[in-house]
């Protein structure tokens, strides 16, 4: 039978009534290529997906369906099922938008194409992409009664191409802020459907940063449905929450859930039944209207996908690292991440956190000292100067990361392209501090900013003092990479004579260093300030905050921004000193840095003969890191 004739006959036959979930269970097939669980698709595997799919069905009056879901909960499959349903059961023009064209291409190839080929009802309607003139390309698929266009939020042409009855907007929190100067991509895309009375808009995403997250804003305007499951012990219906998981954070061996009602504990095997008996309840029924909103965290991920154990394990690994924590909060808890603690960091409150030790004195735990040098002005500027912070580092009792102690901060006025400021820095560099154990402490490392107007002077200064652990650094806002890079060779101009590649400059990942510093400042007992630290100092130290911005390619990125009219030299010094410390730790065997520092300190006291043997063992390690500068 030819397609035309079949279509004609189908038109005469009364169509069976199907919702998206029913269509998926009846017709959708998963092949072993694309799916981890091949065979017939079963919505019962993820029972919470059934209600959103019913809302996407043609009979539901709901026009907009919002999913704010954790990763690995099946939201991509929900989108696929809806696409399949629209192609096969309720054809019409359809537009699917991904954050970028590259992601649109990936979705088409890796997710859609397998579904279209493996589901016979769809394969009949869309010829394979490889046949020429099939109306089937990566970005467009034609089928009887409609077509499917796939685009990226970064391309205005994808968004204003044509009217569409169905609009699927995937991972909207990762969309660009403004597309080619034409406005918000979600609004642009939704406009395509305005002429259709029976339109459907499907918006999905894991959340991102608090207050700049699209899916959160959409969900908050909806009726805010949450998935309630009955306790296997007492039957009380509750939303599964991470906060109710019980586990030993020192030694993760088993994870249990504690019912909020009967306080009984049960393990994850209860989940399958709980999910099956679960139900969506609107927590903001007063918002009920054309938008149905659904929120689900990773605890509901079915057995065999993402386990409670994995969620806890990831949490423990992310605890000390704000970048990892952000991902964990977004993809597991399905919550927006807040850098709120920074907003709360105000100079006045920090004044109360000062310790009793005096500037220039060394608290007992400190075993390593580093200088961070910020270079201001040059070229005849009247405010030319260098600012120098001395920071002490100590092991943290938790064994994770380190403690930091502000020892002192000095300002040396003068042109950094002239000699005097550097003579001044030499004095600070060669200073000796008295450690409470009787040792004389020296500066272990020093990082000098080469990013200003005195680059050559900085290179020159640093190269001549390499053996004292002095390095030239340059800030960079790329995040994700190492805290301090490997160091690249640069030319140095020694009073008119250029020596090719005779210097080294280290690129810093300042974003991640600031994350580390600020995560300490929020009052964790990991950063300490001497008794005379001024409010002005604290103002500068907290003079930047994390925010979401659109980068040059149009992508929203989280980055640090200065508070208006706020100097931040003290923060820069803190970042630079941390980079010097970081480079030192790299050259010691893993986990042994502070031990080596402590033993070297003891050795310099010379009073404890019993420790001399131990200290000797480590002299080669010490030599190792001194040489590497």
Summarize as ranges the residues that interact with Zn ion (CB under 5 A).
Answer: 231, 233-234, 236, 259, 261-262
Q: Find the shortest distance in angstroms from Cβ 51 to Zn ion.
A: 24
Rounded to a whole number of angstroms, the minimum distance from the CB of residue 245 to Zn ion is: 15
CB-wise, 134 or 261, nearer to Zn ion? Answer: 261
Q: Is 380 left (phi over 0), alpha (psi -120 to 50) or beta?
A: left
Looking from the CA of 163 toward its CB, the CA atoms found within 13 Å total 9
Give the residue with the Cβ less far from Zn ion, 8 or 236: 236
Q: Whole-number minimum distance, CB 231 to Zn ion, in Å?
A: 3
Residue 246 Cβ vs Zn ion, minimum distance, rounded to whole Å: 14
* Residue among 26 and 263 whose Cβ is closer to Zn ion: 263
Minimum distance of Zn ion from residue 256's CB (angstroms): 12
Residue 365: Cβ within 10 Å count: 18
Tokens of 53: 């799919």
Closer to Zn ion by Cβ: residue 107 or 240 = 240
Token digits of residue 435 = 């450690």
Q: Which tokens hold the place of 405?
A: 């102690």
Residue 221: Cβ-neighbour burial (10 angstroms; 0-12, 13-18, 19+) = middle
Q: How far is the CB of 235 from Zn ion (least distance, A)?
A: 7
Q: CB-wise, 231 or 517, nearer to Zn ion?
A: 231
The upper half-sphere exposure of residue 267, i.e. CA atoms within 13 Å in the direction of its Cβ, equals 5
Q: 111-135: buried (b, 16+ CB within 10 Å) or exposed (e) per residue?
A: bbbbbbbbbeebeebbbebeeeeee
120 vs 19, 605, 621, CA distance in Å? Answer: 18, 81, 66
- Minimum distance between the CB of residue 323 and Zn ion, rounded to whole angstroms? 37
Based on CB atoms, which residue is closest to Zn ion, 185 or 278?
A: 278
Residue 76 or 238 with smaller CB distance to Zn ion: 238
Can you tell me whether residue 568 is helix, strand or coil?
coil
The least CB distance from residue 258 to Zn ion, in Å, is: 9
Neighbours of 263 (CB within 10 A): 11
Dist. CA 169–CA 496, nearest whole Å: 59
Q: Which one, 238 or 476, has the nearer CB to Zn ion?
A: 238
- Cβ(442)–Cβ(432) below 8 Å: yes
- How far is residue 408's CA from residue 46's CA, in Å, rounded to a whole number? 58
């Amino acid at each position: 039978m030819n397609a035309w004739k079949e279509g004609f006959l189908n038109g005469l036959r009364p169509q069976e009534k199907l919702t998206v979930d029913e269509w998926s269970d009846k017709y959708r097939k998963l092949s072993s290529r694309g799916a981890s669980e091949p065979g017939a698709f079963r919505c019962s595997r993820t029972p919470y997906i059934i209600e959103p799919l019913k809302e996407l069905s043609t009979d539901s009056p709901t026009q907009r369906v919002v999913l704010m879901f954790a990763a690995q909960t099946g939201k991509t499959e929900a989108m696929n099922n809806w696409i399949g349903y629209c192609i096969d059961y309720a054809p019409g023009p359809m537009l699917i938008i991904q954050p970028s064209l590259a992601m649109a291409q990936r979705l088409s190839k890796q997710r859609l194409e397998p579904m279209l080929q493996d589901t016979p009802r769809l394969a009949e309607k869309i010829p394979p992409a490889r046949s020429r003139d099939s109306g089937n390309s990566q970005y467009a698929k034609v089928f009887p009664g409609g077509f499917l266009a796939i685009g990226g939020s970064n391309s205005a042409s994808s968004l204003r191409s044509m009217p569409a009855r169905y609009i699927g907007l995937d991972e909207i929190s990762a969309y660009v802020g403004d597309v080619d100067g034409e406005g918000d991509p979600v609004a642009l895309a939704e406009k395509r459907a305005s002429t259709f009375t029976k339109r459907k808009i499907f918006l999905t995403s894991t959340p991102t940063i608090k207050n700049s997250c699209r899916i959160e804003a959409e969900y908050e305007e909806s009726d805010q449905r949450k998935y309630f499951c009955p306790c296997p012990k007492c039957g009380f219906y509750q939303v599964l929450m991470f906060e109710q998981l019980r586990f030993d954070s020192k030694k993760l061996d088993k994870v249990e859930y504690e019912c909020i009602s009967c306080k009984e504990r049960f393990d994850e095997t209860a989940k399958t039944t709980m999910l099956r008996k679960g139900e969506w309840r609107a927590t903001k029924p007063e918002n009920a209207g054309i938008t149905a909103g659904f929120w689900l965290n990773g605890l509901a991920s079915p057995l065999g996908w993402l386990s409670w154990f994995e969620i806890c394990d990831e949490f423990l690994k992310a605890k000390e690292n704000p970048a990892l924590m952000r991902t964990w909060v977004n993809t597991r808890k399905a919550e927006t991440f807040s850098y709120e603690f920074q907003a709360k960091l105000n100079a006045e409150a920090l004044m109360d956190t000062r310790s009793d030790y005096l500037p220039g004195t060394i608290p007992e735990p400190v075993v390593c000292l580093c200088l961070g040098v910020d270079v201001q002005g040059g070229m005849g500027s009247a405010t030319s100067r260098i600012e120098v912070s001395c920071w002490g580092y100590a092991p943290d009792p938790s064994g994770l990361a380190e403690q930091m102690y502000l020892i002192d901060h000095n300002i040396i006025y003068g042109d950094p392209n002239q000699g005097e400021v550097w003579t001044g820095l030499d004095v600070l560099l060669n200073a000796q501090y008295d450690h409470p154990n009787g040792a004389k402490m020296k500066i272990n490392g020093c990082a000098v900013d080469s990013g200003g107007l005195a680059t050559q002077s900085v290179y020159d200064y640093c190269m001549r003092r390499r053996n004292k652990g002095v390095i030239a650094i340059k800030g960079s806002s790329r995040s994700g990479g190492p805290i301090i890079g490997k160091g690249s060779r640069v030319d140095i101009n020694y009073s008119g004579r250029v020596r090719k590649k005779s210097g080294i400059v280290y690129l810093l990942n300042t974003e991640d260093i600031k994350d580390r510093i600020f995560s300490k400042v929020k009052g964790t007992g990991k950063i300490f300030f001497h008794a005379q630290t001024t409010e002005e100092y604290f103002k500068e130290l907290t003079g930047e905050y994390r925010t979401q911005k659109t980068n040059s390619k149009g992508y929203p990125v989280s980055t640090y921004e200065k508070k208006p009219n706020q100097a931040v030299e003290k923060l820069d010094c803190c970042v630079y000193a941390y980079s010097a410390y970081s480079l030192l730790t790299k050259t010691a065997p893993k986990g042994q840095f502070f031990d080596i520092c402590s033993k070297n300190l003891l050795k310099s006291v010379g009073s404890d003969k019993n420790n001399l043997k131990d200290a000797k063992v480590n002299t080669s390690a010490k030599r190792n890191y001194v040489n590497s500068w």
